[in-house]
Amino acid sequence: MVTAMNPLPHGPKTLKEFAEADLRRAARLIIKVQDEIDPQFRFSTPEGDYHLAVTLPADDYERRAMLRRVSAFMAWKRALGFTLASELIEPDCIYCLAVTAKEASACFSRIRRHPKPWTKHSFGSIEWLDRAQIGEEMIDLLPRAPRAMTPKDTAMLHKWFGPDGRYPAVHLPTGELRDI
């Protein structure tokens, strides 16, 4: 798969490889911070990949509102696909979902929370979900068609994901917090 997500010839080539690579990246982040992590999004866009870490509220209405904002960001950047790596409570694991317009793939690795500090040995082997086990709510975050952005939309995106926003988006090729 040659996309903005895969600028290197030796990097991941299939959607499953992207899911596994971002699962491993999230596990390394957990080991580094020795704490739970916020959901980690990576978007493939025509101008390069973006990374976004957001907190998803426990309140269902607020959670859905945040996911709509993330989806609007993908529409704004014309995302070709995305990965989402995060933690789950049941089963106690780290997981990664990878989505393009044509396919979806998801995997997880169980976490042994004790003893701490967590190391690479705190994570179990990678297990794969069947397509039927992947929730449509998350797959539907990827916009299926271009969408016009209103000034209100762009102001909201800037407030949440701009350089001074609550969850600034990082342009991975440059490492910059870009003005959206």
Question: Residues 92-128: pLDDT tens digits?
Answer: 999 999 999 999 999 999 999 888 899 999 999 999 9
Q: Where are the alpha helices (DSSP H) in 34-166?
A: 60-76, 136-139, 151-161
Residue 116, pLDDT score: 87
pLDDT, tens digit, 9 for 90 and up, residues 132-173: 899 899 999 999 988 899 999 999 999 999 999 999 999 999
Tell me, rounded to whole angstroms, the distance of Cα 120 from its chain centroid: 21
Residue 105's nearest CA partner among 116, 113, 114, 95 is 95
Q: How far, in Å, are 27, 82, 90, 124 from residue 42 at the CA level?
A: 15, 5, 23, 23
Query: Where in the chain are the domains?
Result: 15-177
Q: Is the dihedral of CA 94, 16, 98, 45 positive or negative?
A: positive
Strand residues in 2-54 grouped as ranges (E) = 40-44, 50-53
Tell me, rounded to whole angstroms, the distance of Cα 20 from its chain centroid: 12
pLDDT > 90: what percent of the chain?
79
Q: How far, in Å, are 3, 12, 19, 109 from residue 95 at the CA level?
A: 22, 17, 9, 6
Residue 66's nearest CA partner among 178, 157, 169 is 157
Q: Is the pLDDT of residue 52 over 90?
A: yes
Q: How far, in Å, are 80, 99, 142, 164, 173 from residue 102 at the CA level?
A: 10, 8, 11, 34, 25
Query: Considering the entire predicted model, what is its pTM?
Result: 0.88
Residue 13, pLDDT score: 83
Mean residue pLDDT of the chain comes to 90
Tell me, rounded to whole angstroms, the distance of Cα 136 from its chain centroid: 15
pLDDT interval class at 2 (50, 70, 90): very low
Q: How far apart are CA 31 and CA 35, in angstroms?
A: 8
